[in-house]
Copies of this chain bind each other. A is one copy, B any other.
Amino acid sequence: MQTIEELLREKKIKVTPQRMAVYAVLQRTKDHPNVEMIYRELKPNYPAISLATVYKTVDILKKVGLIQELSFGEGGLRYDSVTLPHAHIFCRNCGKVVDIESISPERLRELLLMESVAEETGFHISSMQLYFYGLCLYCNNKQSES
A114 pairs with B103, CB closer than 8 A:
yes
By the criterion of a CB under 8 Å from any partner CB, how many residues of chain A are at the interface?
Answer: 40
Oligomeric state, in copies: 2
Q: Is the CB of A133 within 8 A of B126?
A: yes
Partner of A132, one of B73, B117, B136: B117
Closest B residue to A143 by beta carbon equals B124
Question: Top 9 nearest A-B pairs by Cβ distance?
Answer: A71-B73, A122-B137, A102-B116, A125-B134, A123-B134, A124-B140, A126-B134, A129-B131, A124-B135
- Report A's interface with B, CB cutoff 8 A: 69-73, 77, 87, 89, 91-92, 98, 100-103, 111-112, 114, 116-117, 119-137, 140
